[in-house]
Amino acid sequence: MPRLIIDNQKIEVPEGTKVIDAAEQLGIMIPRFCYHSALGAVGACRLCAVKFLEGPVQGIEMSCMTDARDDMVVSTDDPEARAFRRFIIECLMMNHPHDCPVCDEGGHCLLQDETVSGGHDIRRYKGKKRTFRDQYIGPFVQHEMNRCIHCYLCVRFYQEFTGYRDLAAYQIGYRVYYGRFEPGQLESPFSGNLIDICPTGVFTDKPARYRGRRWNMERSPSVCIHCSLGCNTVANARYREMLRQEARLSESVNGHFICDRGRFGFGYANLPDRPRRAEIGKNEASWTEAVRALANRLTISDGASEMKKTAVLGSARSSLETQAALAILAGSAGWPMPAYFADPHQSSVCRTVVRRLDEGLAVSMKEIERADWILAVGADPINEAPMLALAMRQAVRNGGKAGVIDPRPVFLPFDFTHLPIPREQMEFCLNHLIHSGIARQEADDAGEAVAGFYAQLPEEAEFEEAVREGISTLAEGLKQSEHPVLICGTDIVPLSTPDLAADHAHLLNRIKNTCGLFYILPGADAFGAAMLEASAESAFEDLLKAIEDGEITALMVVENDLIGAYPNRKRLETALDRLELLIVLDYLSTPTVDRADFFLPTTTVFETGSCFINQEGRLQYAEQVHAVGAPIRQLRGRSHPPREHRDEVPGGDPRPAWRAVADLVRALDLDEIRLYTSGPESWLTGSKGPFRFFQEKIYPPREGRILPAESEVAPFKSSIKKEAKKPEAGTLDILFVDRTFGAEALSALSEPIRRAEPAAAAFIHPKDASELGLSDGDSAILRFEEGDLEIPVALNNDMARGLLVIPRKPDLEWQTAGARFPRIARNRIAGVRKETE
Amino acid sequence: MTRNKPNIWKYSLSAVKGIYDAYAVSMINFLRKPVTEEYPEYKRPLPERSRGRIILTRDPDGDERCVACYLCSAVCPTSCISMESAEREEDGRRFAIWFRINFARCIYCGQCEEACPTLAIQLTPDYEFCQYEVLDFVYEKEDLLVDHGGRHPDYNFYRHAGVTEKGDKGAHPDEEEPVNLKSNMP
Amino acid sequence: MWFLGFVILLIKLAAVLGALVLLAVYLVWIERRLLAKFETRLGPNRAGWHGALQPFADGVKILLKEDLIPEGADRFIFMMAPAVVATSALLLFVVVPFGEGFTLWGRRVPMLFTDLNVGLLYVVAISTVAVYGVVLAGWSSNSLYSLLGGIRGAAQMISYELSLGLSLAPVVMMAGSFSLVDIVDAQAAYPFILVQPVGFLIFLVSTMAEAHRLPFDIPEAENELMGGYHTEYSGMRFGLFFVGEYVNMLVLGSLAAVFFLGGWRGPLLPGVVWFVLKVLIVPFLLIWSRAALPRPRYDQLMAFGWKCLIPVALVNIIATGGLMLLFG
Ligand code: SF4
Ligand code: SF4
Ligand code: SF4
Ligand code: SF4
Ligand code: FES
């Protein structure tokens, strides 16, 4: 542990710490451009120069390139060092275009700060300035190369950290250019981080271009709700309009970065057609009117305390507050307990997940970065939880091995082994792989339970050559591994896979002493939803059954697009037709909202402080960013705001969904008065609230995992099949899947995401395609019983046979298929040739 | 610390003198002619740089100078300037889609003019614009924009800053040709 | 006959009250103009001839203002306090002789309401009542500023009451009577100011403190107490305080005239005219002081009253007595 002196202060730091970090620990911020704690040092900018007075190094040196060593005496404000840094700044500013007034970085620009604090205020260089042409690099990032100071952060982030190649440094000397070879959209779904990481205004936020300076923004720490990881963000709003999101450092979740879906997906909150008025039938009403009328409809006859039995469907994208409030409403009104997943598949896998995950197994993304062997089963990280792919990449960069068992064409920005196994055989493949990676002796040493489980695993498997090779590479890796992690998806896996994955994690845990288990869930608060469903034993299937049988005639849907999410359109339509009363609460305009008899507008996560539990059981709080109300821009278009005094905010009717529930409880005169007499702290932490599962009952919560120390479910109970299930000949499996851009319900509504999303296409193996007479770009017409689905096909070698992979885009009528995992006979697929000029 | 005991007589004498002086000075002023200039009968000619009603000026090409950089609104001690910037559809120029000064709040300190990098916002010597309605003090961009360059008729921000609004990069007098990233010629 | 006397009394009352209030109201305007002159400004000169209608403009404005009573105030006392201040100032005038007197319908009409033989004591007694107005206003407003103002007012008025009384003792000694008429008569030869300059000075300073005029406006101290005891008052109730203050100035002026300047006596001009002229001297001095002097600190004010004015007044009494023994 080296001890050194920086600016007359003694400090002891771990071996290998850079002087720049040691100083930071003392609260001394040495100026820097090119050093970033996630990317390391390259010494490109020379701004971090300090003077080493005594010790092993002497004179002016770069503090980011020098390891702290014993007996060093460092001065950061030595006149010589100051002069050096000032000179560096002057050189960096030589070609600067002096366009800060029209630059969006201005106000939070590191170059501005360092120039001013470095004392460079008068330009001495009278020569001509070098210039660059800018490029179109997609809908997310704006490029303005003249402002560059050549710190290389962008390229280091883009190429080394995220593993994409299309943004690079070109040319030499002072002509070095950072961009693409040809203009075009950046390929990386993490490109938005260039905005945060570039210390100058070269890369700026394109959707928020010219919309306001940092100091104009209302900024609050928020949490991304576009997938289950719950990355930490800083949300920026101005004039009641969400304008920009930045990554917020979270050591255990997302690190320094977020993905583009999270960064640019907030557009749904600003949509001009967002419903902002309550509706009775199709007539607008005030909030109080609507709640009172609704309460009247729900009471069977005037004055009677008996209430119409109502089914309640919450949502995995709602906050925990809303989910809990619904449970309390249903409980006190004597209704069946609410369900939260419209999709029965999601409902049961998520419940398995919350039952199986415990502190012994759960890992954060930070721990994934440190893993040396990662196996993902039924998961497509880039598309289902983009930041997970980045965490896995860091593990691989550190020497780890990664593999994915998944029938889909999985792309990841690093070297990994893909085993494109059909959906039904994934479990078999997993069992076989683990069996090959663990020696019988190891299993026997780990105790009876483990040995018994191990003994059931299939030793032999018939796979194609390529798959067999992949399995043996991964098995080899597992043998060497000390920190393995299993990742289990939930979107396409068979119902039993989450259980099986947990058992394997236990197995590896017993043998290696450590093994992480990481699930991917469908929705920002899917964990909370599953927890509440599991504790109440409720499911939407049961409710739907009761509606079909006529036992229940009213349905309340909260922040859930039931029509878009339920996999069987026909069955749902029939059930909805039997309803007497459909109540919908939402902040989006969806087909479900259009059908509602009663509608109450709710607020987005940016307009209410709310809790979310991510897929590893981490409870996080997103603070309110801005007040409820229509964005000022939408009031008078591109003109000045209205010149009038008003009592209420235009478009200010929406309330948090839990408050709507509370108002309803009050109007119905139910005895749960704490719902409307006090804030969420009282009923979240109460005896029926979800916080009853947690040790620490404070609200708003501190960040932390809320898992039990040990799951109640005993491991190794999965049933294991010795034989791989054979796919049916003559049919194709269809998988409806998530995509990075365009399939997640909220972000798909965001303008920049819509521009970035690729056209909808069904992936198919070339051999299947040729059997069907299809070639790349042709359209396939799938003739289901309920109707046709037409979609262009894209050929992909890297996927299982007998499979069509179709993105679950909101505008694609995938529910006509009638099932979550439909199977279609080959003769029901017709091809339409691509039109060629 | 030892404190000198004041000499009571000296002290009293100086007190009396102080009081006497005060009375004398005020009486001398009493007998002088008042210096008040009576407005509105007499309007004092104001120097060019005196600070009154604010205008938004135009550059020599007749285009709006303001680039909606928010510096004036940031520096304004009374926060009376608000605006929203946007990209002009024709040429991508940054401009203010609306720009509002609440003169009921402005204290005519001139900080905004000081901060403006494009010399767009300027204070004029006009101060006679009282209103009965407070809302009439809220000036929109239409009310602020004039058709001249004010005190600095010649300056044009876009001739100095290296951003292009029309035309190619490197077209300004103090700039080199843009780097061709696909050529190895120096 | 008693009936005629009653009518005359009523007429006198109305005339004096009217003149007094009118004069007080005009004194506001005069003060503002004079103050402006002291500061080489013009002062209010727009309403009417040289701004002569300014008091009426002010009056209309103040009458149209909303009459606010703060929450938590003791409403009755809050409403009564301004009246106490104004009335006590007016009551003082009862014993002041403001002219020689004349004969009407065969009746001698004295130019005063009543000649009390303890007139001077009455003056001192009644002027003390004004302090109730200040204290009650300060207490009933339910505001810290007001309360502080009220307390300061009480302390200040009680302290300076002493020196006021003491400064008048030599006058009584020389006139040999408490009756104000007798005191005026005693000055037939020369006004007492010639023999009692110190007494006059003490009287003047105490007067300023009594009327809490600058530099002794500690109870109001606008820039520290925001108006002190009348912070919470608005509209005509505030106006009453104002009128009271200016009536007070006039009354103190007339007392100075009576005690030191020879009352209504003077050559050539009629007595009433002399009286009015003399009465105006004190307000002028007060205004001049306001223009010239800054406000002392509260403790300095108390120290000055107790450690300087009272001893000097006592010495003055002893000296007067000694001299009277020697020469009288
Ligand atoms: S573009 Fe930005 S991050 Fe990249 S080298 Fe230039 S200044 Fe650094
Ligand atoms: S990985 Fe998921 S949670 Fe993180 S930013 Fe992207 S969409 Fe949001
Ligand atoms: S003059 Fe001062 S107060 Fe007025 S707008 Fe400019 S900065 Fe603001
Ligand atoms: S400082 Fe100048 S250019 Fe910037 S917004 Fe204000 S007026 Fe416009
Ligand atoms: S930060 Fe050390 S050289 Fe750039």
From C43's Cα to the closest Cα of chain B, the distance in A is: 9
Hey, which residues does A486 pair with through a beta bridge? A375, A517
Sheet strands (E) in A92-240: 129-131, 141-143, 168-170, 177-179, 203-205, 218-223, 232-238
**Single-letter amino acid, residue A521:** L
Q: Look at A148-157, A444-453, C257-266 and tell me which has the smallest mean pLDDT.
A: C257-266
From C41's Cα to the closest Cα of chain B, the distance in A is: 5
**Looking at residues A293-310, what average pLDDT do you find?**
78
Instruction: State the CATH number of the domain containing residue B120.
Output: 3.30.70.3270
User: Model-level pTM?
Assistant: 0.81
Residue B105 lies in a domain: yes
Position A115 scores a pLDDT of: 94
* Cα distances (Å, whole numbers) of residue C120 to C92, C125, C145, C172, C255: 10, 9, 34, 8, 9
Residue A266 lies in a domain: no
Residue A35 binned pLDDT confidence (cut-offs 50, 70, 90):
very high
Q: How does pLDDT run across C133-175, given as a tens digit for each residue?
A: 888 888 888 888 888 888 888 888 888 888 888 888 888 888 7
Instruction: State the CATH number of the domain containing residue A418.
Output: 3.40.228.10
Q: Is the pLDDT of residue C205 over 70?
A: yes
Q: The tokens of A816 are what?
A: 């006509």
From the number of C-beta atoms within 10 Å of its C-beta (0-12, 13-18, 19+), residue A775 rates as middle
Contact list, B141 vs chain A (CB under 8 Å):
640
Position C101 scores a pLDDT of: 65
Q: Look at A96-100, A258-262, A523-527, C191-195 and tell me which has the smallest mean pLDDT.
A: C191-195
CA distance A503 to A718: 7
* Interface confidence (ipTM) of the complex: 0.86
Q: How does pLDDT run across C37-89, given as a tens digit for each residue?
A: 888 888 888 888 888 888 888 888 888 888 888 887 788 888 888 888 888 88
Residue C107 lies in a domain: yes
Q: Range of A750's domain?
A: 731-832
CB contact under 8 A, B32 and C41: no
Sheet strands (E) in A32-117: 49-54, 59-62, 72-75
**Ligand 1 mutation pick, A114, A150, A156, A174, max ligand atoms within 8 A of CB:** A150
Number of domains in chain C: 1
Please report, in angstroms and rounded to a whole number, the separation of the first and last CA atoms in chain C.
44
Number of domains in chain B: 1
More confident residue, C262 or A571: A571
**Looking at residues A760-766, what average pLDDT do you find?**
93
> From ligand 5's centre to the CA of A202, what distance in Å?
19
Of all ligands present, the nearest one to the C-alpha of A741 is 2
Position A280 scores a pLDDT of: 93
CB contact under 8 A, A633 and B70: no
CB contact under 8 A, A177 and B135: no
Q: Which of A519, A536, A561 is the last residue before a domain boundary?
A: A519
From C282's Cα to the closest Cα of chain B, the distance in A is: 15
CA distance A518 to A541: 27
Position A231 scores a pLDDT of: 96
Average pLDDT of every residue of chain A:
91
A479, A406 Cβ separation under 8 angstroms: no
Chain B, nearest residue to C34 by Cα: B30
Q: Range of C98's domain?
A: 68-327
Residue B132 lies in a domain: yes
Q: Range of B58's domain?
A: 54-161
Residue C8 lies in a domain: no
CB contact under 8 A, A99 and B118: no
Q: Is the pLDDT of residue B1 over 60?
A: no
From the number of C-beta atoms within 10 Å of its C-beta (0-12, 13-18, 19+), residue A193 rates as buried
Measured at the CA of A193, the angle between CA A190 and CA A199, to 5 degrees, comes to: 155
Residue B1 lies in a domain: no
Contact list, A146 vs chain B (CB under 8 Å):
162-163, 169
The packing angle between helices C2-38 and B8-31, to 10°, is 90
C47, C146 Cβ separation under 8 angstroms: no
Q: Which helix (H) or strand (E) holds C165?
A: helix C144-175
Contact list, A640 vs chain B (CB under 8 Å):
98-100, 140-141
Residue A156 lies in a domain: no
Q: How does pLDDT run across B99-127, given as a tens digit for each residue?
A: 999 999 999 999 999 999 999 999 999 98
Residue A508 lies in a domain: yes
> From ligand 3's centre to the CA of A115, what distance in Å?
27
Instruction: State the CATH number of the domain containing residue A741.
Output: 2.40.40.20
Position A645 scores a pLDDT of: 85
Q: Is the pLDDT of residue A472 over 80?
A: yes
Q: Which of A44, A65, A92 is the last residue before a domain boundary?
A: A92
Q: Indicate if ligand 5 lies below 6 Å from the C-beta of A48.
A: yes
CB contact under 8 A, B34 and C292: no
Residue B4 binned pLDDT confidence (cut-offs 50, 70, 90):
low
Residue whose Cα lies nearest atom 6 of ligand 3: it is: B112
Residue B8 lies in a domain: no
CB contact under 8 A, A239 and B140: no
Residue B176 lies in a domain: no
Atom of ligand 5 nearest to the CA of A34: 4
C39 closest CB neighbour out of B19, B29, B33: B29
**Looking at residues C249-268, what average pLDDT do you find?**
79
Q: Does B133 touch chain A (CB under 8 A)?
A: no
Residue whose Cα lies nearest atom 8 of ligand 2: it is: A262
> From ligand 5's centre to the CA of B29, what distance in Å?
69
Position A678 scores a pLDDT of: 81
Residue whose Cα lies nearest atom 3 of ligand 5: it is: A43
Position A195 scores a pLDDT of: 96
> From ligand 2's centre to the CA of A387, what distance in Å?
6
Q: How does pLDDT run across A340-363, given as a tens digit for each residue?
A: 999 999 999 999 999 999 999 999
Q: Which residues of A107-120 are buried (b: 16+ CB within 10 A; e: fewer)?
A: bebbbbebbeebeb
Q: Indicate if ligand 5 lies below 6 Å from the C-beta of A47.
A: yes
CB contact under 8 A, C42 and B19: no
Q: Which helix (H) or strand (E) holds A612?
A: strand A610-613
Atom of ligand 3 nearest to the CA of B113: 6
SS3 A35: coil
B163 closest CB neighbour out of A99, A171, A633: A99
Indicate which of B70, B73, B75, B84 best probes the interface with A, i.e. most A CBs within 10 Å of its own CB: B84
Q: Is the pLDDT of residue A834 over 60?
A: yes
DSSP one-letter string for B101-165: EETTT-----HHHHH-TTS-EEE-S------SSGGGGEE-HHHHB-SS-TT-TT--GGGTSS--S
3-state secondary structure string, B138-156?
Answer: EECHHHHECCCCCCCCCCC
Chain C, nearest residue to B38 by Cα: C42
Number of domains in chain A: 3
Percent of chain A with pLDDT over 70: 99
Tell the residue number behind the tokens 């990662």, with chain if given: A374
CB contact under 8 A, B86 and A211: yes
Q: Is the pLDDT of residue C206 over 80?
A: yes
Position C134 scores a pLDDT of: 83
Contact list, A170 vs chain B (CB under 8 Å):
181-182
Residue A131 lies in a domain: no
Residue A608 binned pLDDT confidence (cut-offs 50, 70, 90):
very high
Position A155 scores a pLDDT of: 96
Residue whose Cα lies nearest atom 5 of ligand 2: it is: A262
CB contact under 8 A, B179 and A177: yes
Hey, which residues does A236 pair with through a beta bridge? A219, A244
A758, A279 Cβ separation under 8 angstroms: no
Residue B59 lies in a domain: yes
B140 closest CB neighbour out of A170, A215, A640: A640
Q: Which of A75, A92, A109 is the last residue before a domain boundary?
A: A92
Position C82 scores a pLDDT of: 84
Q: How does pLDDT run across A655-698, given as a tens digit for each residue?
A: 999 999 999 999 988 888 888 888 888 788 777 777 777 767 77
Nearest to B81 by CA among B66, B102, B104: B102
Q: Is the pLDDT of residue C196 over 70?
A: yes
A500, A595 Cβ separation under 8 angstroms: no
Residue A204 lies in a domain: no
Residue A787's φ and ψ, nearest 5 degrees, are 160, 180
